[in-house]
Amino acid sequence: MRMPRRQNRTHVYLLLLAVTIAAIVAYHLTGKDGSREGVYSHKEYMQLVEESRARRMQPPPADESAGDTRH
């Protein structure tokens, strides 16, 4: 007596779902000693944005050889 084909497909889909979830969990758990690399609080993020904005607004340093095109 054979099992219905649809039930076999359901098992395959459940297995694929379990493997996908396991891969996602493993990817997120493999950090560097639990460091928060790339995760900032709101205050830290706003400070980073302000520092970046301040750096962009500063004029570039004067380069003495800027007018000299000879190499």
More confident residue, 61 or 31: 61
Residues with Cβ within 8 Å of residue 26, at least 6 apart in sequence: none
CA 15 to each of CA 9, 10, 12, 33: distance values in angstroms, whole numbers, following the listed order: 10, 9, 5, 30
Instruction: Tell whether 67 is covered by a domain.
Output: no
Tokens representing 21 are 């979830």
Instruction: Tell whether 24 is covered by a domain.
Output: yes
Asked if residue 56 has pLDDT above 70, the reply is yes
Place of tokens 């076999």: 8
Instruction: Tell whether 66 is covered by a domain.
Output: no
* pLDDT, tens only, 9-37: 888 999 999 999 999 988 888 765 555 56
Instruction: Tell whether 36 is covered by a domain.
Output: no
Instruction: Tell whether 43 is covered by a domain.
Output: no
- Count how many domains the chain has: 1
- The whole-model pTM stands at 0.37
What domain range is 17 assigned to?
Answer: 1-29
Instruction: Tell whether 62 is covered by a domain.
Output: no
